[in-house]
Amino acid sequence: MANQTLSTVTSDLIASYGKTAKNVIHAYRVGNERAIGFMDQRWASAVGKAGNRLSAEARDNAVAAQQKLTGYYAKGVALTTDSADSVVDKAVELAGLGLTQVAANAGRFEKATGVTALNTLAVAAVPAAQAVTKVAAKLEAQTGALAGKIAGKKPKAKTAAKTTVKRAPAKKAAR
């Protein structure tokens, strides 16, 4: 870390913020997918509860209309999140290129003028930039954990076990 320059630390910071943004986008995507699944389930349940009060054709039409609407919503979420991913990728790329250009221009300026104030300032700013990068890395890790929780990878097993335990006493009480 002692050999890091301001531009390398800043580049790491930009990459970390890019990953954080992608974690948030992923959480948005997965959360909306789960909401769509929930709505599909609830709609099918409601149509099923209507039972014989609706004709078979009306039930089929209601389910088909709801599936079409959630299909449009899912396509909108997919388009939005894919576009947001692309924007983040491009922003990180352009920020990296801009950073490279600024570093090159600063070097040319110092060579042309003989003034090394920019280099001195850059060296002095490295510890602060490293501290900010550490904070950004923690933020990135937390957003990754949040996206994982929203995705439901680990909580599903815990929720299923808790649900089973809670349902058994409820059935006994109902009988």
Q: What is the pLDDT of residues 7-43, one digit of tens each?
A: 889 999 999 999 999 999 999 999 999 999 999 899 8
Distances (CA, A) of 171 to 54, 157, 168: 30, 21, 5
Residue 115: inside a domain: yes
Does 1 fall in a domain? Answer: no
CA 79 – CA 93 distance, rounded (Å): 21
Residue 94: inside a domain: yes
Give all strands (DSSP E) within 28-172, no chain letters.
Answer: none
SS3 153: coil
**One-letter amino acid for residue 99 of the chain:** L
Q: pTM higher than 0.85 for the full model?
A: no
Token pair listed for 156: 């599903």
Q: In this structure, is residue 36 part of a structural domain? A: yes
Q: Which domain holds residue 20?
A: 6-174
Encode pLDDT of 49-88 as tens digits: 887 788 888 888 888 899 999 999 999 999 999 999 999 9
Backbone Cα Rg of the chain: 26
What gap in Å lies between CA 66 and CA 40, rounded to an integer? 8
The Cβ of residue 158 has, within 10 Å, a number of other Cβ atoms equal to: 9
With respect to residue 124, please indicate whether it lies within any of the assigned structural domains. yes
In a domain, 10, yes or no: yes
Residue type, 155: P
With tokens 């078979």, the residue in question is 56
Looking at the structure of the chain, the number of domains it has is 1
